[in-house]
Amino acid sequence: MSEVNNTFLLNELQFQFADSIYSADEPYGLLTIELDPKQIIPVLNFLKVHPIIHMNFLTDLCGIHYPENKGKELGVIYHLHSFTENIRLRIKCFMPNDEPKIDTITSIYGAANWQERETWDFYGIEFIGHPNLTRILNVDEMDYHPLRKEYPLEDQTRTDKNDNYFGR
């Protein structure tokens, strides 16, 4: 039986990257760390080639926007999975609204290519070194990133509906 669990995984990460891990938590049993964005490449390389952990699958990568968190408004969330040890890890990296940049991880996980493009398209987070960081779902002429919370949810010029019927 494997000894790899959340405690083992966190201990290995803290031993190697203690100064770069800002926080750790286990919501619903999923180990979640907040990481210095400058350390995403070394941490992911470490996890992928670790002789026991083998974090060999990028399940998901997505953006997030918390406009009320000054200096940490935008973020990238990575979900990783080790098939051999059946353990998962979530990594959160936050950055300021005026400097939304983080290194691409496409050299470690090829599947990140599409996911980073989608995150850039919707949130405007630049993935430094990405081989083709262009819009993937929105039109090329779009000059904004629509999932940022700075844009209204609906067209404010609509006159064809009465909001009183919708509890507003």
73 Rama class: left (phi>0) / alpha (psi -120 to 50) / beta: alpha
Distance CA 120, CA 142 (A): 12
pLDDT of amino acid 2: 64
pLDDT of amino acid 1: 47
Residue at 124 is within a domain? yes
**Exposed / middle / buried, residue 135 (Cβ in 10 Å: 0-12, 13-18, 19+):** middle
Residue at 121 is within a domain? yes
Secondary structure of residue 59 in the 3-state scheme: strand
pLDDT of amino acid 163: 65
Residue at 65 is within a domain? yes
* Secondary structure element (H or E) that encloses residue 168, with its range: none
Q: Which two tokens stand for residue 21?
A: 């891990």
pLDDT of amino acid 167: 57
Q: How many domains does the chain have?
A: 1
pTM above 0.85, yes or no: yes
Residue at 168 is within a domain? no
Residues facing residue 103 across a β-bridge = 128
Residue at 164 is within a domain? no
pLDDT of amino acid 152: 67
CB half-sphere exposure, 15, CA atoms < 13 A: 8
User: By C-alpha distance, which of 145, 148, 152 is closest to 168?
Assistant: 152
In CATH, what number is assigned to the domain containing residue 30? 3.30.460.80
Full residue range of the structural domain in which residue 75 is found:
6-154
Residue at 1 is within a domain? no
Residue at 160 is within a domain? no
pLDDT of amino acid 31: 98
10-residue block means of pLDDT along the chain (168 residues)?
A: 87 97 97 98 98 96 96 98 96 97 98 97 97 94 89 71 64
Residue at 163 is within a domain? no
pLDDT of amino acid 118: 97
